[in-house]
């Protein structure tokens, strides 16, 4: 008996990170020594102080039951204090904050709350694949917003066709940006809020890399823009800031009506974030600044080492202002996929082809600084030899 997949699955492109992982595993099985700069998964362990908080919380019998609802009140209160301290924006923990099983889960579920079949969702291109996937699962139509280097990787709202604007329900933004590592000025967020108000569109901002920034220049939250609380929801993650990708916890903040819609979806599809992990997250949010500063120092040192090495070889690449990604043009005559494949097969370096994030990513590869310095140095040596050939 054959079971045909639902039509919605046929519309999905292969999830790029799964495809890369298949190639990576095949090379490893063949005995290849790989330098893995593909998936943005921090290589350093979760800080010991947070693991102790998790261990202590796991012994609390109250945390052994379903963690139903919007998240522990203590977690939402800690998130509110952290957010006000970081961005100067005061939030109501009861109605404007929601715990997530990682920000990816919330991003994927948001369209189910607000998008009907045929509605348009404005998605950055290149961009995190989940914006498109979540839209398709909800029956919506993704509309690509090209992010071009000539415009600082910011979308041009004036180029969106009226036919799309009439049915647009959500605008996705993501700064610091994955994959381009671009940041957005305050003026851009003000323009985005005005644009969404004018057209009755939800402004959804993915800010998973808010705390990975360099040279003492912290990125801005969209909620800092005047009027943003009328139209916006923002997604935050503890994964990158505290090396907690495996623990799966994040949170959404913003207009209460948008938070409520997402709560309704989640209440029907999951049972909440594990309570002891929420307790660990509270310890992270309340930790001294040195904890996140130490993470930034590691990535800044890696960034400076790796990007300077690439530039000496002639790569067209900028020093990222934030995130831990390096967005580099491939040489003339190569495609994103062909160059990424050659690096894997001939240099033992795993990268991500830019076109996997959208058509506007063609001509680029993304490299993640999630490898120790000694491995980054090996990657540079291999790249030098590869380029020389």
Q: Quick check: 188 pLDDT over 90?
A: yes
Query: Where residue 326 falls among pLDDT bands split at 50, 70, 90?
Result: very high
Residue (of 146, 202, 212, 147) closest to 176 by Cα position: 212
Residue 285: asked if its preceding bond is cis (omega within 30°), the reply is no
DSSP category for residue 331:
P
Mean pLDDT of 256-261: 98
Predicted confidence (pLDDT) per residue in 144-163, tens digit: 999 999 999 999 999 999 99
Mean pLDDT of 190-209: 98
Looking at the chain, the whole-number percentage of residues with pLDDT higher than 70 is 99
Query: Where residue 235 falls among pLDDT bands split at 50, 70, 90?
Result: very high
Query: Where residue 214 falls among pLDDT bands split at 50, 70, 90?
Result: very high
For the chain, give the mean pLDDT.
Answer: 96
Third-level CATH fold of 7-45+290-388: 3.90.1150
CATH of the domain spanning 48-285: 3.40.640.10
Q: Quick check: 366 pLDDT over 80?
A: yes
Query: Where residue 190 falls among pLDDT bands split at 50, 70, 90?
Result: very high
Query: Where residue 113 falls among pLDDT bands split at 50, 70, 90?
Result: very high
* C-alpha to C-alpha distances, 264 to 110, 156, 195, nearest whole angstrom: 10, 33, 27
Predicted confidence (pLDDT) per residue in 335-356, tens digit: 999 999 999 999 999 999 999 9
Residue (of 308, 303, 343, 19) closest to 176 by Cα position: 303
Distant-in-sequence, close-in-space partners of 243: CB < 8 Å, separation ≥ 6: 42, 44, 45, 46, 47, 295
Residues of the chain with CATH 3.90.1150.10: 7-45+290-388
* Pair of tokens at residue 68: 């139903």
Residue (of 233, 212, 194) closest to 103 by Cα position: 233
Query: Where residue 30 falls among pLDDT bands split at 50, 70, 90?
Result: confident
Q: Quick check: 248 pLDDT over 90?
A: yes
Mean pLDDT of 154-182: 97
In this prediction the pTM is 0.96
Question: Strand, coil or helix: what is 210?
Answer: coil
Mean pLDDT of 236-250: 97
Q: Quick check: 132 pLDDT over 80?
A: yes
- For residue 173, the surrounding DSSP H or E stretch is strand 168-174
Residues of the chain with CATH 3.40.640.10: 48-285
pLDDT number for residue 269? 96
Query: Where residue 200 falls among pLDDT bands split at 50, 70, 90?
Result: very high
| Distance of alpha carbon 267 from alpha carbon 85, whole angstroms | 30
Mean pLDDT of 168-195: 98
Query: Where residue 28 falls among pLDDT bands split at 50, 70, 90?
Result: confident
| Distance of alpha carbon 65 from alpha carbon 348, whole angstroms | 46
Question: Strand, coil or helix: what is 99?
Answer: strand
* C-alpha to C-alpha distances, 184 to 63, 189, 351, nearest whole angstrom: 39, 7, 25
* Pair of tokens at residue 124: 């950055």
């Amino acid at each position: 008996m054959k079971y045909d997949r639902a039509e919605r699955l046929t519309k999905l492109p292969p999830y790029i990170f799964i495809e890369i992982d298949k190639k990576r595993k095949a090379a490893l099985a063949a005995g290849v020594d790989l330098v893995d700069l593909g998936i943005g998964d921090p290589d350093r362990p979760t800080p010991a102080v947070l693991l102790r908080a998790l261990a202590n919380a796991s012994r609390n019998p109250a945390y052994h039951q379903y963690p139903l609802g919007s998240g522990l009140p203590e977690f939402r209160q800690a998130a509110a204090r952290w957010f006000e301290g970081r961005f100067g924006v005061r939030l109501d923990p009861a109605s404007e904050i929601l715990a997530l099983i990682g920000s990816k889960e919330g991003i994927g579920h948001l369209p189910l709350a607000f998008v009907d079949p045929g509605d348009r969702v404005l998605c950055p291109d290149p961009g995190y694949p989940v914006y498109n996937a979540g839209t398709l699962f909800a029956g919506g139509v993704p509309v690509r917003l090209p992010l071009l280097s000539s415009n600082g990787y910011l979308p041009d709202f004036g180029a969106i066709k009226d036919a799309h604007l009439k049915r647009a329900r959500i605008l996705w933004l993501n700064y610091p940006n994955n994959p381009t590592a671009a940041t957005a000025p305050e003026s851009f967020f003000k323009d985005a809020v005005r644009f969404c108000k004018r057209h009755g569109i939800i402004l959804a901002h993915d800010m998973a890399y808010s705390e990975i920034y360099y040279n003492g220049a912290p990125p801005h939250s969209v909620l800092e823009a005047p009027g943003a609380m009328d139209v916006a929801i923002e997604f935050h993650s503890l994964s990158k800031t505290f090396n907690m990708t495996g623990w799966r916890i994040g949170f959404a903040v913003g207009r209460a009506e948008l938070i409520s819609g997402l709560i309704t979806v989640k209440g029907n599809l999951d049972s909440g974030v594990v309570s002891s992990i929420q307790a660990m997250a509270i310890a992270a949010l309340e930790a001294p600044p040195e904890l996140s500063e130490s993470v930034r120092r590691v990535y800044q040192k890696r960034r400076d080492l790796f990007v300077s090495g690439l530039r000496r070889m002639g790569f067209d690449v900028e020093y990222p202002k934030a995130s831990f990604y390096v967005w580099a043009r491939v040489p003339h005559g190569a495609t994103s996929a062909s160059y990424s494949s050659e690096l894997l097969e001939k240099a033992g370096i795993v990268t991500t082809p830019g076109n996997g994030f959208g058509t506007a990513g063609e001509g680029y590869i993304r490299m993640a600084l999630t490898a120790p310095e000694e491995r980054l140095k090996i990657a540079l040596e291999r790249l030098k030899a590869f380029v020389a050939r």
